Amino acid sequence: MTAGTEAARSRRERPAKPALSRAGIVAASVAVMRSEGLERLTMRRLAQELDTGAASLYVYFRNTAELHAAVLDELLGTVNLGPATDSGPWRERLVDILTSYIQVLFEHPSLARSALVARPSGENYLALLERLLAVLESGGIDRGRAAWAVDLLLQFATASAAEHGTRHEAPDTQEDWASSIQALQSVSPSRYPHLVATTDDLFTGTPTERLTWMFEVLLNGILTAPTPTPQPAHPGP
């Protein structure tokens, strides 16, 4: 038997590779991200994982940023959107959804940082927007304010997840936090009277309590702000 015949038989005996699909690529991407981090999730690394060429992946995703957005959308499927019907105070329902969204991103800080500049557009993201808009409407917020409010709330939630998740990743977080407390407690009362007077209050409250309060501040502003009146778009040159 010739070497060429042996090679041909070897190729025939290999198990057939599963056909590429967008869903399969995203599933493999999530697995790589969970095990190696988002920074390692490149087209080349994913192609290696799927035993294919990187060029094949560009049929489904234009670039790595679009791939990362698809991974985020996949994970947004785990956000707790609450009951489909309007039950319970609308503010609580809204905060619960946004808190669940933050928790998903908090588990993947690099993905949260990516979400600040590249938003997903898949079914799970659209479902999140739909539910947030529905809850805002049930709270009596008109569509104009609700449209801008969703952007504000998600931007704040994403930034919070990116900030706190990044801190959680840092190895010296506790030491830095202790140093900050010590520095504030040792400032001069004559030079920083207001800071000294509020030092103890700066460190009160649990993360959940603080986050809920921040959302309440945003919602109070949204409720009292006038409906946006954006300028009409100017035609291009």
Residue ranges of domains in the chain:
14-61, 76-181+214-224
The arithmetic mean of pLDDT across residues 6-31, rounded, is 73
Q: What distances in angstroms separate CA 206 from CA 80, 98, 158, 213, 218, one per listed residue?
A: 22, 17, 19, 11, 19
Q: How far apart are CA 92 and CA 135, in angstroms?
A: 10
pLDDT digits over 103-151, tens only? 999 888 888 888 887 778 899 999 999 999 999 999 999 999 999 999 9
Q: Do domains 14-61 and 76-181+214-224 have the same CATH topology?
A: no
pLDDT digits over 24-68, tens only? 999 999 999 989 888 889 999 999 999 999 999 999 999 988 999
Model-level pTM?
0.80
Residue 29's pLDDT is what? 94
Residue 237's pLDDT is what? 46
CATH architecture for the domain at 14-61: Orthogonal Bundle (1.10)
Q: Which one, of 153, 147, 173, lies nearest residue 228 by Cα?
A: 147
Phi, psi of 118 (to 5 degrees): -135, 100
Q: How far apart are CA 54 and CA 48, in angstroms?
A: 8
CATH number of 76-181+214-224: 1.10.357.10
The helix/strand/coil state of 54 is helix
